[in-house]
Structure formats: C-alpha cells, structure tokens
Structure 1
Amino acid sequence: MPKVWRQVKSGLVALCVLITLTLVVGVATHLQEIQQLAKTYTLLRYQALEPVTTDKLLEGAIKGMVDALGDPYSTYLDANTYRHLQESVSGSYGGVGLLITLDEKDRRLMVVSPFKGTPAQRAGIKSRDYIVAIDGRDTSGMDLETAANLMQGQPGTKVELTIIPAGENKPRTVTLVREVIKVPTVDGRMLPGHPGIGYISLTMFNEQTAGDLGRQLEELRQQGMQKLILDLRNNPGGALSAAVDVASYFVAQGPVVYIADQKNTEALMARGYAKPLPLVVLVNKGSASAAEIVAGAIKDTGSGVLVGETTFGKGIVQTIYPLSGGTAVKITTHKYLTPAKQDINKKGITPDYVVPMDPQLEQEVLSRAPDLERDVQLKKALEVLGK
C-alpha cells in the first residue's frame, strides 16, 4: 500500500510540474497581451464612468473570445438565451417561429425559413428575407442569439420586425403576436387521387422527429402506401442525431454523413431499420443543415430522387458546452460531408430535377401543403414517381 501511495504522489507532483510549466510558457509567450488584458480590466473596473462589476467584465471577456472566431454560428449564451435554446430543441418555446442566420457577405440578419403555421409564416416572411430591426432596434452587428432572444417571449405579447424582402430594397414593418411555438416535426397523409402515394412533411429536426416519423410511416403503410414524397422544403434543420435517425428510415446501409473536425473524419452509419420504397424528396433554398444531411444521404446513396431548388448550404455543425451559472458557449466544431464526401457548405445540394417556383406562389402553396393544384414541385414529384 505505501508503494501505491508513493506512485500516486509522484504522479500528482509530475502533473503539477507539467501544469506549472505550461502556464509559465503561455505567460512568457503572450506576456504583452496578458499585461494589456490586466490593464484594460483595471481601467474599465475603476475608471469607467458607469460602474461595472468584475462578473460583467469576465462575461464580456468570454464573449469576446468566442466572437474573435469571426463565426456567426459560434457565440456565448447567457443564461436566458441558453434556456430558450434548450426549450427550442426539446420541442416548444414562446416566439414567432423563425430560424435565422447571418448573411456571409455583409453579416446582416437573414431568415433561413419560417416554421409552418406560425405567426412569421402567416405574416408572409420568407427564406432569405433580411430582418433589419426588432422592436425598432437596429440588427446591424447583432449576434444570432441576441436576435432570437429579442423575438422570443411570453405568448400573447407583441414584437415588431422590420423586414427587407429578398431581392427588394424597400423595408416593411410587421407586428407579430408571440405564440407557444410547438416546433412542428411530422405531418403526413395519403394523397387523394393518387392511389398508393403517401406524403410526409418534416418541418424541423428535434428530439421528437424520428419517433414521430416512424409512427407516421407505419400508419401510411397500413393505409396502402407504396411510394412516398418526403417534403423537406423550408426545413431549417436541427439536431444532428435526429437527422441520422431520420435518414436511417430511407438509407438501408452505409454512412449517412461524415463528420470532420480539426483532426479526424468519422462516418455516422445508418441504423439498419430502413424499409426502402420509391421515394422523391422535395427541397428548396430554405432546406438547411440537418435537412441537407438527410437530402444528401438519400441522393448520394440512390435511395431516392430530389426535386425542387438548390438547398441553403449550411454544412457545419455546432456543439454546445455548458458553463457555470446556467450559461454556455456554442462553437462550430465540425463540418459534414455527404456519403459521396461532398462539402455542401455555402454551396447547397442541387436536386436531380430543378424546378423553380415563384416566391409568392411558394409562400402560398407551402402554407397549405400539399397543394395538388398549384404546387409545381409536388406535381413534378408525382410525375417522377409515375415513371
């Protein structure tokens, strides 16, 4: 026993020496920057006109380090914002129903897509519209989490958004009443007048999506479904694990997606419960992130055919690391590649059949999907399945 303790003691001493050497080398290498940091803290703490606490300054330092990445998807999450994000992932929150991003060129706040049946969609807000103000507050330079936090709130309260529609210059202002946004996942039915053809719309990927999809597929099979149209239009994405689970209903075997970090590339494999059937997937410029993982997996493996317009092009993955006090940092840690190892970030996925749709018509038909009379992309999907 004494020998074991001597070994433990020696190991602890060695670890302490290593940590000390690492700190010494770090301080020596960045001595000037550390001195500047200490001086800035002292000036802000004791010379600024308005009093500021040490906690506030340290929180600002953390936020500044994350902002230094220059990545619109990496950010510091204060306790309130982190709580809202957790609510969204779990399936419901109070808000207007928008997924947003920052435009890569000028870093303006841009809509990825509105959720179906939400105040934002009913107000006519569309993918790639710019949000230039929230309750009169200019969004220039605003990070994504701050913007999302401003739009979320108690159901029944109002929020005013100033929008510049895609391709236009004239802003318009809309007042939305917040609702409980039960993040929609799955909606399905058999298509009337088209025997044996089922239709399923996925409007987001959260913790409930894969289970809901499995139940919907089984219900439609019992109703005689032999072919399927999977609608991923205006699906803003969500959880990576949900995307792999959803794709596994259609990809029989092999990789669904490759996830790459600084050093390694890992294949996430199909779960093995697919029951292949003739499949057409509908996509558009509002199909992003996890929706693109599913679409890319289906296209590359030949499990189905894509119809619509080129997707949004978000091929990176964020990881959330909780901190003390209910806060967290969200950091872009991985990029993903399709099964054919295609990097679709900022490029999107081009469908097998490109079918453009007028933006106004798209807004109308997607709010009532499936619209068998006016939806030209759905008509093309039916034509493809008919072959």
Structure 2
Amino acid sequence: MQESRWKEYLRNFGWVVAIASLLFTVIVGGFIVTNLDHVGRLGRVLQLIQSDYLEDVPVDTLIDGATKGIVDSLGDPYSAYMNAQENAELMQQIEGKFGGVGIILSLKDPQKLVVLRPIKNTPAAKAGLQPGDVIVKIDEVDAATIDQEKAVSLMRGDPGTQVTLVVYRESIKKSVTVPITREHITVPTVEGMPLPGNPDIAYIGISQFSSNSAYELNEVLTGMNISKYKGVILDLRYNHGGELESAVGVSSYFVQPGPIVYIVEKDGNTITKASEGNYLGIPFVVLVNEESASAAEIVSGAIRDRGTGTLVGVKTFGKGIVQTIYQLDKGTSVKLTTAKYLTPNKIDIHKKGIEPDVAVELKEGEEATLSPTTSEFDTQLREALKVLRQQL
C-alpha cells in the first residue's frame, strides 16, 4: 500500500515540479526556501487532486487556478492574473480596438455593473442601453457573482456573435432584456470641437488614455487649428484612466516643461516623468468628477500643482497607484501594482482624490453634457465656461 502511494506520487512528480517552477517565477526564490512547509503543502494538495479526485482535471486548469489564487491572495483589486483570452482583451483595450458591445461601466459602486454610458455608434448605443442601467445578467451568468473585469470579458467576443444582457432600468422600475450583436469597436479617445454657442472656446473631451491618446490629441488640436481659440475646456469627467505614458504625453500640452508625475517604486527608487515640451500656453479649465481616475488624475494633478489651469467639478476618484503587466507563457499575463505615483508637489492622492479649485456638483438627476451638441450645458460645464471667461 505504501509502495503504491509512492509510485503514484512519483508519477505525478513531474508536473508538481512544473507547478513549483511556476511559483519560483512569481515568488522570490529565497522566500520559498524559508517556507518549504507551505510549498510542500501545495505539492501534496496537487498530488492528491491528481491521484484521488473523482474527476480528471487538466494540468493547465490547475496551474491557472494556483496562479490566480496567489495573485488574489494579495487582496489588491488592481492586481490580477489573466488567462490568454483575458490578456488578449486587455491588450486590445489598451490599443483602443476590440470586439464587443461598446459599454463603459461606472466605477462608483464595485458591487454593481452600472452602465456609465454606451459609446456612440456602437451596438450598445444602437440597442438602446442607457446611462444608469444596471446589468443583472450576461447571457446566463448572474452579474452579482462576477467582478467588472470578468463582466467585460463576457461582453467582448468575435464580431457577429451575440450576447444577451438583462438590465434593470430605474426609470421604468423593471428589467429589460437586450440582445446585442458584437461589432469591431474602435474607440476614439479624444474629440474636439468649438463649444456650441461659443466659437472662441475649444471643447476637448478625453474618454480614456489608450496608447494612441496623445497622438489623437495632437491630431485634434491640429485639425481644429487650436491657435485660433481664446481658451480651452478639457473634460476629464468619467475618464477612468489608462496608460501612464499616454497621460504624460497628454499632460505635456497643458503643463510647461518640468515634472508631471513621480513614480515611486517598491525599493523607494523614484522616476520622474516630465513634460515633452508641447505646452499650448492658452487659458484653460479642466472638468473633473468622482469618476476621473488614475491617468486622468495624473493629468489633473499636474495641472493643479503646476498652476497652469483651473479644476472645476467635484473630488476625483483617488487611484494613485501604478500597475505593470508582465507577460507569461501561453499568452497569459499578470497585472501587479508595482508603484505609487505622486503629483509634481509630491502629494499622494491614493484613496484621497484631488479636490477641484472650484467645487460644483451636478443637480439631482442631471446628466453631464459630454461632447455637447447644443448650448444647453450641464451645471458643471456652465461653471467651467464662466470660470474660463473670467480668465480671458
């Protein structure tokens, strides 16, 4: 009996070693050496699953589960292990191109999947999804059992395929079933126009910071001939952030040469990200709100600390940490929080947010007029225009 158990153990020893090797890639070797009991416990559990568990489980599934468990144990909502599909979708998101339905989810309540807004001219917008809709089911998956990253993964897919959403709509006090056919989604992150009714004021809206946002901003400014405008309103409301380098590139148009953000690593090493020297040098106001986060706060913090513009709105979200994506084998990756960032005045805004220079809230039930097409502006945009006019 004992000999049989040892033979079974030896048969599984090869892939147990593979699991241990994986652990060596994500945990410092010295840590493992001092925690051999824990590694032995993991090896024993893996061996028992292979030898005694009723069902056959693919080794890849166990490796994914073990890796995900390690990252989840950090208790950090911004760190995550991504399988090949999730990793590919994240890379598409960073590039601003993916197959999906075209929904931006709210950050306000992490326990709910609330539609912040459907993206213009996407399947979600065409299907009639509305800001404030609460997604309760994605196909047959109960939305209450998954996080936002998983929800996004489920809604994305090959163009031409269908996903069915069940949403609760507060305005009619009932749930609505919405079948949506996925399409190629290319999200322009920057748009610019003369502010309706104010031809001497440029309105620039940035929805997120993809790898192309700084380039898009330059194209928009050039196309508008920005020099003919007396002032700019930069709208960063509901901008959940994105790529660090993109935020630095965008900030360079609104901050004079000098520091934009300090990146403080685990060992205390500090990296300074500075302006690329594209400063516009014209008066401007920045609109922010409680969902302006991460890279949007890098831009806002740089403008506030450097004194080049005025922030109008409400306190920002408060995400002052930086994630790094490490590519692993077989198309997988791990996203880890690796640093925090400080504003030019070396202020840590994590879980604190950035207070605007001029505080103004939307009225109850009022929606932000993002990319306005008429001069019927929301309360915050009206105040931003008033503040800007006072500076001209």
TM beyond 0.5: yes
Contact 2:106/2:116 (<8 A) preserved: no
The partner residue of 1:377 within 376, 380, 383 is: 380
Counterpart of 2:303?
A: 298
Relative to structure 1, is the Cα distance of residues 349 and 136 closer, same or farther in structure 2, using a 3 angstrom cutoff?
Answer: farther
Relative to structure 1, is the Cα distance of residues 302 and 110 closer, same or farther in structure 2, using a 3 angstrom cutoff?
Answer: farther
Contact 1:73/1:144 (<8 A) preserved: no
- Give unpaired runs (5+ residues) of structure 1: 1-18
Counterpart of 2:8?
A: none
Give 1:27-46 correspondences, 5 Å limit: 29-46=34-51
Counterpart of 2:92?
A: 87
Contact 1:103/1:110 (<8 A) preserved: no
Give 1:277-316 correspondences, 5 Å limit: 277-316=282-321
d(CA) in 2 for partners of 1:102, 1:379: 25
Report whether the alignment pairs 1:247 with 2:237: no
Report whether the alignment pairs 1:356 with 2:361: yes
Report whether the alignment pairs 1:108 with 2:114: no
Range moving further from structure 2, 373-382 or 238-247: 373-382
Using the aligned pairs only, state the percent identity.
Answer: 45
The partner residue of 1:333 within 335, 338, 343 is: 338
Counterpart of 1:188?
A: 192
Count, aligned residues: 359
Report whether the alignment pairs 1:77 with 2:82: yes
d(CA) in 1 for partners of 2:388, 2:354: 21
Question: What is the TM-score with the length of structure 2 in the denominator?
Answer: 0.82
Give 1:220-299 correspondences, 5 Å limit: 220-221=224-225, 224-264=228-268, 265-299=270-304
d(CA) in 2 for partners of 1:24, 1:313: 34
d(CA) in 2 for partners of 1:210, 1:37: 46
d(CA) in 1 for partners of 2:274, 2:328: 31
Deviation (angstroms), 1:154: 2.6
Contact 1:256/1:338 (<8 A) preserved: yes
Counterpart of 2:182?
A: 178
Task: Name the aligned partner's letter for residue 34 of structure 1.
Answer: V
Relative to structure 1, is the Cα distance of residues 204 and 25 closer, same or farther in structure 2, using a 3 angstrom cutoff?
Answer: closer
Relative to structure 1, is the Cα distance of residues 340 and 351 closer, same or farther in structure 2, using a 3 angstrom cutoff?
Answer: same
d(CA) in 2 for partners of 1:207, 1:276: 24
Task: Name the aligned partner's letter for residue 344 of structure 2.
Answer: P
1:149-192, CA deviations, whole angstroms, 9 ceiling, x for partnerless residues? 111113344434455689x9x77445244332212211111224
Range moving further from structure 2, 152-161 or 241-250: 152-161
What root-mean-square deviation, in Å, do the aligned CA atoms of Structure 1 and Structure 2 show? 2.9
Relative to structure 1, is the Cα distance of residues 28 and 218 closer, same or farther in structure 2, using a 3 angstrom cutoff?
Answer: closer
3-state SS in 1 of match to 2:367: helix
d(CA) in 2 for partners of 1:23, 1:92: 36
